[in-house]
Structure 1
């Protein structure tokens, strides 16, 4: 074998080997049994109960299998004495139930022996020792054993230090530019139980550059948190420095607890450094210090000019015609006395309606916001905030709730506008959106006065999402109630896609049907071949159609209006034509299936096209239909590959697939392009079609449309 062939075989074998996926055998599943709060120096002992739980895969072990591996530590020291069990060597721990054996080799290493076939194949290795500064963790070295190697943190993710306390600010307060006000609560929390010592000193300092000073206070409220709850903790001394920029607080009454706790100091007051000048607007920051706590800067207030804020808790989306949703609005003064107590606030809503006269007050005095009703005291047209019910001594916050719903004509944003004579300009917020449940598209219907059984028009109802039209609910389609009488619907064709309907009927001029089964995707209902009678009292003009019923809206008078659906033309004084065809105009466009007959848009199952000879070809059936040639006047036979006979007024036309010779009343008429049948539809050139029917035609090269007219 040649050297080149041998190398090729070796490379091929190597490719096969590397293509085989590597299967990793399951070993043990390891995790710490709990997470406890720790700082530098924390002792983990039996009382803390921290352990590394290990579960071995039963499928990879056999009866009486024993495995040995090692534990190492990072930023943690084993306590050898703590692992000594009764009648054992110092530093050796044995679990009598599972047979687990832990031997402490040094402060940072232990040897572990496990009989794997124990109950549930699970053991818990206790973790006893001292936490050091850093990222304390237990590391499993499972090489050549049934244990999975890995690193398991003893902390909650942050670097362990000797700091036993943390501090944060409560809700940030707004202070007016006169400087008078209260800063946010100061919250001190323990990282470990016992971190906050009795008679602790806490200092709160303003920057020297601040326009504010602390006010001298006689008492401050202290709220005990969690593990310190129920203790009688107080600020027993509050001292200001000479510049009133630093407040020193002594906190007493603290006793040790078994779980972490904290305190919340409330009521720290500030004032302007110089009462003659306004305080600069912006954030107010303080620095908080205490033993065993990092020095921390906090934002505790905002200095703001007079005014109000308007907010919404969460924007909502409501479906038109369906159930409403509750919105929660908050109006808040930026500073004390921002609102004039003699100037009420009026709220107007656009894009939706408020459903109830009852307005729920979440925060604020009962009745501070009420509904404004229409003249008949039936419907809510807006809301009013009674400023006489606000507290003039504080920056008020008023939270209120109400329900909004969308009518079927609504679609888009819902907005709330607040106005008052005391406002420089109105305040507007978005409450949410109204989403349509269905979309309605329509092709208008042209009718004449004094005729029966006039057929045409189309209405398509399409869901915006599945199941928008509920089962068992009804849809009603009718001439709009406000329209002139004299147009009566007598029949219609109703078809459904991806939704099932039943009980289709036309009664008293209305089309009724019921949703029998909801949709899986987007249900679509098509109403076509709408048949109407018109009497001679109907004036010329355009009249609306409505789509309603409880499937569309929960309110009976809430309907979708299809404007200008019925187009009433001149009275029926149609003259006879010399060619025996109906008067009319039809417009056909290359490449489009929609065509227009006397202004009414229709759709065909074919489309005009341009032949290789650059002749525009149109479908015979639909052009003939424009001038009153219906289905029974068009005959097809398979003779000669397809022969079409058309009875068009006082003419009998005959064309043959693939031939450029037509017969008109038996006389051969040559055409400049052959007849073509595509997908069952017969096409002839535009000009030849007009000549065969004896009608006029105009071709627009710009719009690619052919307009056939019979006058």
Structure 2
């Protein structure tokens, strides 16, 4: 058992030794040393040259009668370089050393073998000449790698620095390019450095040339960051627009250090009419880059810009999101004067939160100037003006940002930019877009009807609510359709609610008194059936569209002619925890998100039934007569397929219909006419005529001529509920609307 253990240990040790690199086998008494003769080479443009490198070897004393090593040139990336190696013919060894150098990389010339047969027991010295092939790209340092051929050789594994790869010129960097230069002048500080030693050249002068209108002031070395040079080794002279820097470099051959130093120089504005405002670009020679920006020249001024986000009308900005940013950028340091006030004013329909900490983040560490909160100014009873004061002016030019975390907008706020007006002392009055407002739901009407003032139980068009995104209408909340300002009450017993698309789940529509929700503004509390309420039982997972049909109402006698809106609100639609807040407009501190308006009905003035209308139209003539008065139109009646086509618009107007009661929809290519208690709808290319919602099938369809809707006389008369007569010998038609 004991013998087995010993054998196991020996085998394990042997295996471990076979895994060690060649360099680990150098003799414990190896006395070979190697050093560079002269200074390291510097390869500008990061390419080798064919300049020879001399390397000194010493074995003191030599212990082995014969030693070998592999020679190669490598850079910091481990790349191997092509070269030749030979005994230095100009070096006389004492005692003489027998050595041989030959290539061993199959003609690639990347690896050479050095064989030495020294005089043992004595000091042996010799030199090799290493000559790289020119034009090889390299990075960082070039090393001569010496790798012993076996563990018995005199040589140790060595990487000797022999050259440096460098760009052609030193590097120049502006330390603070945000420096401000006014008409009083200023200072600039920049750093000059080399990537590797030996780049600075005493035969080259680095020149920095200012643009027209500027001149250099006094300049001096501000600091020596690295290297063996002193300030006296750096000669700096100014000559109007030129700043000249000449360096007398000093390097320690055995361990050269990079030279890095800083220069501070004054910049004067000698001719303001010539000096161009903006970035001051300086031309550079014998250093990289060839152009630098040392600062800005200009007046003390502030520009106002924004970085807008997106918000939903009628909804709060969600936690973790922002509405947008207001950016105050100073051209020169100190443009925002200490103690001055900056105001942010919102338009009507928008308001800042009561707590400024909920609304703004203005104390960012990156801000150039320090701001403090200065309170609100109320406009129309609302927090529409936010005020900030400059608590500490900036020390360098740049940006001061006010981040807006929260802003309130009414549900009916128009889609598009939410504009903030920025004003203040030293700040130009500027309007910028804080956020882009979008509607989370859209509301429209279909089959809009015409109604008569004061009449009861009149039909309204359909109300369509469409979600922009899934879940826009909140589950467990209610949609409220309020009668608005000119509908006395809804009279439909059971309005129908239909989910046209999507997967939202709704309850039935019901009528409720205004006093139930306390929404009424224009009517006494207790007025019945002023609201249609629809419960959202479950929010949608895909954007949904709903339509409310069969709504009837009584129009108030004070209603004006034209569109009569209702108000779509409720906590399912807007950000309101309590329905009682939805339509409130009493100047309270709580923001009123209000509602979205839609007009499903239009009040029309009934045609004057006490007046006769007689209109005459003639084929191929653009003149026509109304009660004997001649008028002109832009299209003439014509005959097609034995049918007489007349322009619907001109016939309707001739029979007492107002121009505003004739509506053309270019998208649907349809025309709607409100004539008394009749609502007439026709569509280009369709043979279906709608009169008060009832369909009538025609034997021909309306068509377009000269941008006018044309229809045969019989169907025009039927639609307008008038009589007509064809006069064959005149090729004319007469329409009659007889007084009643």
| Residue 553 of structure 2 is aligned to residue 527 of structure 1 | no
Report if aligned partners of 2:479, 2:568 keep a CA contact under 8 Å in 1. yes
Distance in 2, matches of 1:436 and 1:699, equals 52
Who is 1:544 aligned against? 565
| Residue 175 of structure 2 is aligned to residue 182 of structure 1 | no
Report if aligned partners of 1:413, 1:433 keep a CA contact under 8 Å in 2. yes
Who is 1:310 aligned against? 304
Who is 2:441 aligned against? 438
Match of 2:536 among 499, 504, 514: 514
How many residue pairs were aligned?
A: 499
Question: In the TM superposition, what is the alpha-carbon distance from 1:396 to its structure 2 partner?
Answer: 6.9
Q: Secondary structure at the match of 2:461?
A: strand
CA RMSD of superposed structures (Å): 5.9
Who is 2:329 aligned against? 332
| Residue 177 of structure 2 is aligned to residue 172 of structure 1 | yes
Match of 2:343 among 342, 346, 358: 346
Specify whether residues 481 and 381 from structure 1 end up closer, same or farther in structure 2 by C-alpha distance, changes over 3 A only. Answer: same
Q: Secondary structure at the match of 2:504?
A: strand
CA offset digits 1:587-619 (Å, max 9, x no partner): 999996665565789798x85769xxxxxx665
Question: In the TM superposition, what is the alpha-carbon distance from 1:545 to its structure 2 partner?
Answer: 1.0
Q: Following superposition of structure 1 onto structure 2, how do residues 234-245 of structure 1 map, counting pairs within 5 Å?
A: 240-241=236-237, 243=239, 245=242
Specify whether residues 415 and 205 from structure 1 end up closer, same or farther in structure 2 by C-alpha distance, changes over 3 A only. Answer: same
Q: Secondary structure at the match of 1:461?
A: strand
Q: Secondary structure at the match of 1:472?
A: coil
Distance in 2, matches of 1:694 and 1:254, equals 105
Specify whether residues 455 and 175 from structure 1 end up closer, same or farther in structure 2 by C-alpha distance, changes over 3 A only. Answer: same
Q: Secondary structure at the match of 2:550?
A: strand
Match of 1:696 among 704, 722, 733: 722
Specify whether residues 518 and 436 from structure 1 end up closer, same or farther in structure 2 by C-alpha distance, changes over 3 A only. Answer: same
| Residue 268 of structure 2 is aligned to residue 272 of structure 1 | yes
CA offset digits 1:596-651 (Å, max 9, x no partner): 565789798x85769xxxxxx665xx45x67xxx79xx9xxxxxxxxx9xxxxxxx
The more displaced of 175-184 and 523-532 is: 175-184
Question: In the TM superposition, what is the alpha-carbon distance from 1:357 to its structure 2 partner?
Answer: 0.9
Q: Secondary structure at the match of 1:500?
A: coil
Who is 1:357 aligned against? 356
Specify whether residues 451 and 295 from structure 1 end up closer, same or farther in structure 2 by C-alpha distance, changes over 3 A only. Answer: closer
> Which structure 1 segments of 5+ residues have no match?
1-36, 52-75, 82-88, 93-102, 110-128, 138-159, 223-227, 576-583, 611-616, 635-643, 645-673, 678-684
Q: Following superposition of structure 1 onto structure 2, how do residues 590-669 of structure 1 map, counting pairs within 5 Å?
A: 595-596=672-673, 598=675, 619=689, 622-623=690-691
Question: In the TM superposition, what is the alpha-carbon distance from 1:458 to its structure 2 partner?
Answer: 1.9
Who is 2:387 aligned against? 384
Match of 2:292 among 289, 298, 301: 298
Who is 2:47 aligned against? 40
Who is 2:403 aligned against? 401
CA offset digits 1:123-170 (Å, max 9, x no partner): xxxxxx979647789xxxxxxxxxxxxxxxxxxxxxx97437544446
Specify whether residues 608 and 272 from structure 1 end up closer, same or farther in structure 2 by C-alpha distance, changes over 3 A only. Answer: closer
Specify whether residues 315 and 90 from structure 1 end up closer, same or farther in structure 2 by C-alpha distance, changes over 3 A only. Answer: farther
Report if aligned partners of 2:375, 2:388 keep a CA contact under 8 Å in 1. no
- Highest CA radius of gyration, 1 or 2? 2
Q: Following superposition of structure 1 onto structure 2, how do residues 460-479 of structure 1 map, counting pairs within 5 Å?
A: 460-463=464-467, 465-467=468-470, 469=472, 472=475, 474=477, 476-479=479-482
Specify whether residues 568 and 279 from structure 1 end up closer, same or farther in structure 2 by C-alpha distance, changes over 3 A only. Answer: closer
Who is 1:497 aligned against? 500
Question: In the TM superposition, what is the alpha-carbon distance from 1:433 to its structure 2 partner?
Answer: 2.0
Who is 1:206 aligned against? 209
Question: In the TM superposition, what is the alpha-carbon distance from 1:315 to its structure 2 partner?
Answer: 3.3
CA offset digits 1:383-430 (Å, max 9, x no partner): 334246325x7657533322254543132123333323546x523433
CA offset digits 1:57-98 (Å, max 9, x no partner): xxxxxxxxxxxxxxxxxxx843689xxxxxxx9766xxxxxx
TM-score (normalizing by structure 2)? 0.52
CA offset digits 1:446-496 (Å, max 9, x no partner): 456777654331222234x44372562645242256557544664322223
